[in-house]
Each structure stands twice: as C-alpha cells, then as structure tokens.
Amino acid sequence: MSRWARNMWLVLTPALLVSVALLGCSGDKDKKRGGGDGKKDGNGKKDDGKDGDQDGKLEPVKVGGGTISGTITLKKGVEPDYEELKAELKKKIDKNTNRNACKEAYEQKAWLVDKSSRGVKNVAVWLMPENDSQFFDAKELAEKKKGKAFDPVVVLDQPHCNFEPRVVVLFPAYIDPSKPKTEDGDPNYVPTGQKFYAVNPVAIKHNTKLIVPRGGGKSDGRVVPESTKANPEKGLDLTAISDLHPYDLSKGPIHIACDIHDWMSGSAWALPHPLAAVTDDKGKFEIKNVPDTGKVRIFVWHEGAGFITPKNGKVIDAKDGKQDFTIEDVK
C-alpha cells in the first residue's frame, strides 16, 4: 500500500464508521416502527396482527368442561404388510442372544387393527389452541383443582421385549399463565411433577433409550434396574433423566428404543397440557377439559402412517365433540 493510499484510508475509516453507525440507528428505528412499539402508538391496525406474533406474546386459552371423542379407523382395502413386519421382527429377534426369552415379541405391534370395526390402536390424538400464539391454561388441571385430569405416574413396562404401552402422551409441564414467557422469550414451563418410569420385571437386561427431538430435553439411555409396575420408583424416571418438557410437536415424537433389542420401539409425546389421548384397541379416544367455546386444533398421529391431520393440526369447533378420522394410507 502506498503512503497516499494509507493516508486516504486513515481519513476514510472514521467517515465510514460514522455512516455505518448512522445506518444502524435508522435500521433500529425502522424495526421498532414495524414491530411491537407500533401497537402502542396506535400506528395502524396492521401492527397488531402478525407483528404481535413476532413479539412472541402468548395468550392463555381457558380449558373447560367439554369432551371430544371419536374413532380412528383404517380405510377399507388398505392393509399394512403384516407378513413383512413379522418377518423383519423375526429376523432381528432370531439374531439376538435373548431370542428365547423374547419369543413373545415375534408378534408385530406396529399396526393393531380391530378386525370387525377396523379401529386402530395406539393412535395419539391431542388438541392445541387455534393459534401458535395461544396456550391452554392448564395450571388448575396440573394442580388437580379440577379433578383428575392426568396420570401423575406413567409406567413403561417391558415384560416381553416390547414396550407396554407402545405409545404414550405425557404432561411434564404447563405454561405459567401469570408469566407465559421467560426473559429469553421461551415458554415459561412449570413442571407438573409427572413421573415417567421405565421398569424391567424380567431377568434380561434392557437399556431404555429416549431419542428426544430438539427442544424437548436430552436423549439418554441406561440399563433399567429390576423393578415392576407395583414399585416403579425402583426403575428409571425418564422425565427426570431426560429433563423432558414440551417441544415443537411437528418434529415428531420422542422415540423410545433399546440398544440391546433393536426391534423394541415406542413413542412418547410431551405436551404442555393434558388434553390428549391414545386410542384403545377399538380405535376409540376421549379428550376431556376441552374449552367450552371457540376453535381448537386437533392432531392425529400413528407410528405407521405419520400425521393423519396436517402437521399444524386441523382447526375444528371446540363444541364439535365427535371427531372421527380415517387413515387413508400406510407408510
């Protein structure tokens, strides 16, 4: 660099810095004008819609006394490849050192379809408020002021090298209605104290592993001490180990697996409220404490079909208490 160029640079640098600083100021001003401040100064109706969401405000939605129930069925003529599912399972089990103890796991459990009604078992169904900027105020349900809204102890048993239940909906935390967001802008979750125990009643080893989607806690896997449904606290408290909390459910479920038996598979959904259910062996579900008015979104998911509703849910009237869905296709 010549001396002239160096001198010019020395002169220009402060000038450049000043203009960058000025640009920065006006940029900030624009941001404020288009963002949250606009709402307060009455600067037009445009601002209280989408910009409000960008501000990340969370509005509580009251839960109520409504019930939504229904049946999830598999479309007539659509059949999972049961033979292939069984063959895959058998291949994995036969290779395993515990093959004799795990023989009862030969029976596939991914698709449990009732022969006469075609109702599908183990479909997870849950509700969410109409908009992402809202949350169900589940504080009273968590504190059991409104009857038993959820199971404080959920047990994941594995008596035959299979998880029982195979699909669970959990309620590890609710959003604090008095302060829905943390200083960092994340939902302000309050733990419900719900336990999610893995137990192992048999002599063979299982290491129960949770693979948790981003934002829902940490993935972990460890050997389950000998324990039964009757004394689940001797097993593993998976909620505590993985620090489970609600997350963006469009990412899919928490996958439950076992490193020792690679066919073992289960799914868990961690929700910020208990307005959720898993279908029984006739494909039936029931969700209580549904808001008395307004709209909600319903979500339906099966491990062999994925989301039956759109990933963002289907908007329904909260009073529309009957919700049946048909699984049109298998993965």
Interacting residue with Cu ion among 109, 121, 206, 284 (CB under 5 A)? 206
Q: Which stretch binds Cu ion (CB under 5 A): 78-86, 145-153, 172-180, 262-270?
A: 262-270
The answer to the question of residue 258 lying near Cu ion (CB under 5 A) is yes
The answer to the question of residue 261 lying near Cu ion (CB under 5 A) is yes
Site residue total, Cu ion (CB under 5 A): 5
| Residue number closest to Cu ion, CB atom | 258
The answer to the question of residue 257 lying near Cu ion (CB under 5 A) is no
Q: Which stretch binds Cu ion (CB under 5 A): 45-53, 148-156, 190-198, 204-212?
A: 204-212
With tokens 């009757």, the residue in question is 230
CB of 258 to Cu ion, least distance (A): 3
The answer to the question of residue 167 lying near Cu ion (CB under 5 A) is no
Q: CA-CA distance, 221 to 242, in Å (whole number)?
A: 9
Closest CA to 203 of 264, 154, 260: 260
Nearer to Cu ion, 122 or 200 (CB): 200
CB of 151 to Cu ion, least distance (A): 24
CB of 163 to Cu ion, least distance (A): 9
Nearer to Cu ion, 96 or 326 (CB): 96
Q: Give residue 49's identity as a one-letter amino acid code.
A: G
The answer to the question of residue 260 lying near Cu ion (CB under 5 A) is yes
The answer to the question of residue 166 lying near Cu ion (CB under 5 A) is no
Nearer to Cu ion, 118 or 206 (CB): 206
List of residues contacting Cu ion (CB under 5 A): 206, 258, 260-261, 264
